[in-house]
Chain A
Amino acid sequence: MVSALSRKLGRDLVRLWSQAAAIALVLACGVAILLMSLGMFQALETTREAYYDRQRFADVFARATRAPRALMPEIAALPGVVAAEARVAGLVTLDLAGRSRPGMGQVLSLPAAGGPPRLNVPILAAGRLPDPEARDEVLVNAAFAKANGLRPGDRLIANLNGRKRDLAITGTALSPEFVYTLGPGALMPDNAGYGILWLPDRAAAAAFDLQGAFNDVSLALAGGADANAVIDALDRLLAPYGGTGAHGRDQQLSDAFVTAEIQQLKAMAWILPPVFFGISAFLVHMVLGRIVALERPVIGLLKALGYSNLAVAGHYLMLAALTAAAGILLGWGVGTWLSRALAELYAQFFDFPYLVWRAQPGPYAVAGLLGLAAASGGALQAAIAAGRLPPAEAMRPPAPPRYGRTLSDRLLAGAGLGQPAMMVWRGILRWPLRSGLTLLGLALAVAVMVAANFLDDALDKLIDIAFTQAARQDAALILAQEAPAIAVEEVRALPGVLMAEGQTSQPAILRHGPRERRIGIEARPPGADLARTVDAEGRPVALPPRGLLLSSRLADRLEAGPGDVIEAEFLTGRREIHRLPVAGIVEQYFGLGAYMQADALAALRREAPRIGAVNVALDPAAEAEFDAALKDIPALAGTVMLTQVRRSFEDTIAQNVVIMNTIYITVAVLITFGVTYNGARIQLSERARDLASLRILGFTRGEVSGILVGESLVLAVAAQPVGWAIGASIAGALAHGSQSDLYAVPVVLKPATFAAASLLVLAAAAGSALVVRRRLDRLDLVSVLKTRE
């Protein structure tokens, strides 16, 4: 049988449902976001670990121009290396049926002996591996096959080092090297336009003239091996053969993106949920404090009947716990749904063979326990007060609150405010902690909105700087091999090309003191107009005749500023080390960039200027002719259509921003409602007698509700600047938490962002206060006055 006390609990909850619901909703937000980010973080990390482990993802990677196979035993014998595998790798242009635009392919060779590679083992999704003897068989990555509707047995045409080859697809596969498959120059995976092609060793070697040689090597290390030592040793071995610098997993593009995503989820888990939990705790504290005050006689009664202090405290604690339970259940539900949605989003970008988000008990338990802890934490003081209240004292009505004349009263009196304004003001000052916490709660609602809108503005700026100001070309043609600068003229002659500018990217290690980064130094002709370097405001920065321009994040990483001298070890050509002054800092949100003038670079390296890529501006009317012409250029490794990159980036961002904003606006409204509604309800309950007396004295409804709503609104207005400040720091924390070597989000805070946040929160506050006002309007004056306090 249900005990009478439990029945009371149940009925109290029903009676308080709107206040409990407001709290539960805020708590649910925290639980859902924590569950989602924690669950997804865990899922991504464990999946990645298992995938890498099973498919023997390499630890160290290196490229060279042409190294003899005979070098392999020496590489394999390096201390700490347990497996080494050489490959032939290269970019090819693809002619895909039904696509006017040429695609790009990354060729990787399969072992000459047949069978799967020893490292970076692809998982067959369909079909079989190519026959090692076949010259026209290819295995492609599953995402590329799916995007192009290709199946085993279908064919595709590849421009293999100048020769067009018709290849038969034997199978499709997934690889740990390409969880995030980003083509050269792309910002988002484009599975239709960029594919991975595994060719038999003989076919690949023949295509790239690398018989008996390799240009790509992967190493697996023993646990505990010193990766840096191996990287250095490998660099020394490959240096004579055009090695461009070995690196670990941290600089493997796909893994770096997965890592960045994991890091972002972690940042989200630790920045946002505490805000919600804090507000929930505060709301519980406020509401339960009032309930305990109202139920003093009941508390006295329960004690008189022989209920222990613990039982009484437990009773009120349970009220909070049940509210929390509702919030937790809701949060689990929403969190599960969000996780599924996010898993689907990841499925679009990440190619894991088995990334399924499974409901793991861990994150549910953590989110649930933290939610419960927040509610209990908020309830504790009131519950303990109820438990400690001596029964005889509980039976007596509480002493009226002691209002004292303070300095502020004299100031207000001097200001000639009326009595209602005085009541509002004293109400705020009488409970400074409660007023302060209410203000803080509303400020957090503003902050959440500011932090959400900041992203919108930040991405606008990012797109503006990255595309409108810096990378303005319509397309970039990537040459199969570096060519003399004069090759630009051939591109300029292609149909539809309005402008063409060459550029080259030279791999180098930049050092400043103990800090170093392996990057590509981009060199462009002076006055290049298609690809420009710009400052943080988007103003073009001319390439200096001497020295380097560093992107701000690279400058940060190297702790270098203008005037400092950087040591640059070039990994190509004569592999010389040069000391270069930092001539300026530029803004670059994607990757870490370093830039110099093409002539200056050539002079430094004592070479004629060479180019590896050509940026072009196109005549939109002649794009089809341009596309057709590209398919027949043998020296071309690939084409990056920046117009398309831009569009897909904007689309993806726009979609994400809409989702994020909807979530954040909901959250901000919920917080505001939770804080204002509960605050006004509590005031109504505390002041019902005062307000009813005023009505009887002849005050109008409007004047009386002005007192009630006034306090909420005064606090809401005061909360705005605080909210702006907190919002700005949350925005900073989110931007900082999500930046990596791959990309960064600028912190852009516009007055409109603050204004929109304030408008929304003030409107929500006014709306919640008006809901309570309707209660006040219905107040039965006589019965309120008759009730014994």
Chain B
Amino acid sequence: MAETIYRTRGLSRVYATGAAAVRALDAVDLDVPAGEFVVLLGPSGSGKSTLLNILGGLDRATGGEAWFRDRSLTEMDEADLTRYRRDHVGFVFQFYNLVASLTARENVQLVTDIAADPMSPDEALGLVGLGPRVNHFPAELSGGEQQRVAIARAIAKRPEVLLCDEPTGALDSQTGVQVLDALAEVNARFATTCLVITHNAAIREMAHRVIRFQDGRVAEVEVNTTRRAASEIAW
């Protein structure tokens, strides 16, 4: 049995917007084994992004507890969380979030500048097949290429977890497959735990584990015995 990398107990997040309080996450208990490729499915507002944000140290829970290995994320202060993000977590976002004024290499360098034991930006870009385009600015890259830069940026620090929020949401199917392929490759090669949020049910076939969300709760956890490669998926 693999080590558990994330564990949550009664994890809750309530947003107070005006008079009505919104329960984005409602007492979630979850265990994520290290090294798995995990897909989080669910409709909008079901709590997937909130969970990812808390696990990634971007947001704070309002109740319950969450652990990264044996460290309590819910007890970390601001500086600890920053440190945690810097050392352990890689993020990939739906809209890539590349800095427009930096080239592909420089966008990756943003991470390698501050990480403890990073690979070189060129190596990271090579891993996602962007070796020849390192000096291009985001505006000169296609959507799929931009997302791969974002993946290169996320993996360059050799993170233990890769948190991806709708990484293919803005991409067409063919480019989406390339991006998923890159993620699967990272997962297989470096045993990086991947948590991938998606609206796209087809992607679940790639996963070791699929977690379905509904109304801020975990509705179902499904473990795949057989996985398909990204290239076999279509939507």
Q: Which residues of A contact B (CB under 8 A)?
A: 3-5, 7-8, 11-12, 15, 297-298, 300-309, 390-392, 395, 788
CA–CA, A391 to B82, complex, Å?
10
Kindly list the 5 A-B residue pairs having the minimum CB-CB distance in the complex, ordered from nearest.
A306-B86, A392-B59, A11-B101, A4-B109, A391-B58
Question: Complex formed: what's the CA distance from A300 to B82 in Å?
Answer: 12
B115: which A residues are within 8 A, CB to CB? 306
Q: Contact check: which of A11, A12, A298, A303 meets B82 at CB < 8 Å?
A: A303
Taking CB atoms, residues of chain B closer than 8 Å to A307 are 82, 86, 114
Partner of A306, one of B101, B109, B114: B114
Q: How far is the CA of A4 from the CA of B83 in the complex (A)?
A: 19
A703 → chain B, closest Cβ, in Å?
A: 31
Determine if B102 and A7 form an interchain contact, defined as CB atoms under 8 angstroms apart. Answer: yes
Given A4-B107, A5-B113, A11-B101: A305 and B58 interface contact (C-beta under 8 Å): no
Contact indicator B82/A308 (Cβ below 8 Å): yes
The answer for the CA separation of A304 and B82 in the assembled complex, in Å, is: 8
A4-B110, A7-B106, A309-B78 known; A301-B53 Cβ under 8 A: no
Does B59 lie within 8 Å of A390, measured CB to CB?
yes
Given A8-B102, A12-B101, A395-B58; A305-B110 close (CB under 8 Å) = yes
Q: Which A residues touch B85, using CB under 8 A? A: 303-306
* Number of residues of chain B lying within 8 A (CB) of chain A: 29
How far apart are the CA atoms of A665 and B89 in the complex, in Å?
56
Chain A neighbourhood of B89, CB < 8 A = 304, 306
Contact of A305 with B79 at beta-carbon distance under 8 Å, contacts A4-B107, A8-B101, A298-B97 already known: no
B167 within 8 A of A: no
Q: In the bound complex, do residue A306 and residue B83 qualify as a contact, i.e. CB atoms below 8 Å apart?
A: yes
Out of A15, A309, A391, name the residue touching B101 (CB < 8 Å): A15
Candidate in A4, A8, A390 with the most chain B CB atoms within 10 angstroms:
A4
Pick the contact of B97: A7, A301, A308 (CB < 8 A). Answer: A301
Q: List 16 A-B contacts (CB under 8 A).
A: A5-B110, A8-B106, A11-B101, A15-B101, A298-B97, A301-B97, A301-B99, A304-B91, A305-B86, A306-B82, A306-B114, A307-B86, A307-B114, A309-B78, A390-B58, A395-B53
Contacts of B53 in A (CB 8 A): 391-392, 395
Also in contact, A306 and B87, with CB within 8 A (given A297-B97, A391-B59, A392-B58): yes
Min Cβ gap B11→A in Å is 15
Tell me which of B59, B97, B110 has the highest count of chain A C-beta atoms within 10 A of its own C-beta: B110
For residue A3, which residues in chain B have a CB less than 8 angstroms away from its CB? 109, 113
Please give, as numbers and ranges, the residues of chain B lying within 8 Å of A304 by CB-CB distance: 56, 58, 85, 89, 91
Q: Within 8 Å of chain A (Cβ to Cβ): is B37? A: no
Is B149 part of the binding interface, using a Cβ–Cβ cutoff of 8 Å? no
B173-197 near A? 1/0 per residue, CB < 8 Å = 0000000000000000000000000
A4–B58 CB distance below 8 A = no
Residue of A nearest to B153 (CB): A305
Measured between alpha carbons, how far is A302 from B56 in the docked complex, in Å?
13
Q: How far is the CA of A722 from the CA of B86 in the complex (A)?
A: 51
B56-93 near A? 1/0 per residue, CB < 8 Å: 10111000000000000000001100110111010101
CA distance A122 to B85 in the complex (A): 76
- Chain B minimum-CB-distance residue to A388: B78
Q: With both chains docked as a complex, state the minimum distance between the C-beta of B109 and any C-beta of chain A, in angstroms.
A: 4
Distance (whole angstroms) from the CB of B44 to the closest CB of chain A: 13
A5 contacts across to B, CB distance below 8 A: 110, 113
The majority secondary structure among interface residues of chain A is helix
* Nearest chain B residue, comparing its CB with the CB of A390: B59
Contact B99 A298 (CB under 8 A): yes
- Inter-chain CA distance A28–B83, complex, in Å, is 40
B residues in contact with A309, CB < 8 Å? 78, 82
**Are B102 and A4 in touch, CB under 8 angstroms?**
yes
Q: How distant is B14 from chain A, measured CB to nearest CB, in Å?
A: 14
Taking A301-B93, A395-B53 as given, write out 11 further A-B residue pairs in contact, using a Cβ cutoff of 8 Å, ordered by the A residue number: A5-B113, A8-B106, A300-B58, A302-B110, A303-B82, A304-B56, A305-B85, A305-B91, A306-B85, A306-B87, A391-B53
Chain A residues contacting B107 (CB-CB under 8 Å) are: 4
Q: Is the CB of A308 within 8 A of B79?
A: yes
Residues in A with CB closer than 8 Å to B109 are 3-4
Instruction: Report the nearest A residue to B103, measured CB to CB.
Output: A7
B99: chain A residues within 8 A (beta carbon): 4, 8, 298, 301
Partner of A305, one of B59, B101, B102, B114: B114
Contacts of B93 in A (CB 8 A): 301, 395
Cβ contact within 8 Å between A297 and B95:
yes
Bound-state CA distance A305–B99 (Å) is: 12
Contact in complex: B113, A4 (CB < 8 Å):
yes
| Nearest CB of chain A from residue B16's CB, rounded to whole Å | 13
Known: A5-B110, A8-B102. A303 touches B58 (CB 8 A): yes
* Chain A residues whose C-beta falls within 8 Å of the C-beta of B79 in the assembled complex: 308
With a 10 A CB-CB cut-off, give which of A12, A305, A391 has the most chain B CB atoms: A305
Q: Which chain A residue has the least Cβ–Cβ distance from B137?
A: A11
B207 contacts chain A at the CB level, 8 A cutoff: no
Report the bound CA distance from A4 to B106 in whole Å. Answer: 5
Q: How far is the CB of A303 from chain B (nearest CB, A)?
A: 7
A395 and B109 alpha carbons, distance in the complex (Å): 21
Q: How far is the CA of A788 from the CA of B95 in the complex (A)?
A: 9
- Tell me the bound Cα distance from A11 to B59 in angstroms: 30
Answer yes or no: B111 CB below 8 A from chain A CBs: yes
* CB-based nearest B residue for A306: B86
Closest to A297 in B: B97
What residue in chain B is nearest A302 (Cβ atoms)? B110
Contacts of B110 in A (CB 8 A): 4-5, 8, 302, 305
**A773 CA to B121 CA, complexed, in Å:** 41
Q: Which residue of A lies closest to B60 (CB)?
A: A390
Chain B nearest CB, measured from A301 CB (Å): 4
Residues of B near A7 (CB, < 8 A) are 101-102, 106
Are A300 and B95 also in contact (CB < 8 A) when A5-B110, A309-B78, A309-B82 are?
Answer: no
Most B CB contacts (10 A, CB to CB) among A3, A11, A390, A395 go to: A395
| Complexed CA–CA distance, A11 and B138 (Å) | 14
Contacting residues, chain B, for A301 (C-beta < 8 A): 91, 93, 97, 99
Docked pose: A15 CA to B91 CA in angstroms: 27
Residue interface bits B128-155, CB-to-A below 8 A is 1, else 0: 0000000000000000000000000100
* Chain A residue with the shortest CB-CB distance to B52: A392
Provide the residues of chain B in CB contact with A391, threshold 8 Å: 53, 58-59
Contacts of B59 in A (CB 8 A): 390-392
Give every chain B residue within 8 A of A298 (Cβ-Cβ).
97, 99
CA–CA, A12 and B106, complex, Å: 14
Q: Which residue of B lies closest to A392 (CB)?
A: B59
Which residues of chain A have C-beta atoms less than 8 A from B95's C-beta? 297, 788
Complex Cα–Cα for A305 and B108 (A): 10
Query: For residue B82, which residue of chain A has the nearest CB?
Result: A308
Shortest distance in angstroms between A787's beta carbon and chain B's nearest beta carbon? 11
Task: Report Cα–Cα, A306/B90, bound state, in Å.
Answer: 10
A300-B97 contact in complex given A3-B109, A4-B107, A7-B106, C-beta closer than 8 Å: yes
With a cutoff of 8 Å between Cβ atoms, the chain A residues found around residue B91 in the complex are 301, 304-305
> How far apart are the CA atoms of A321 and B79 in the complex, in Å?
25
A386 to chain B, nearest CB (A): 14
Expressed in whole angstroms, the minimum distance between the Cβ of A762 and any Cβ of chain B is 36
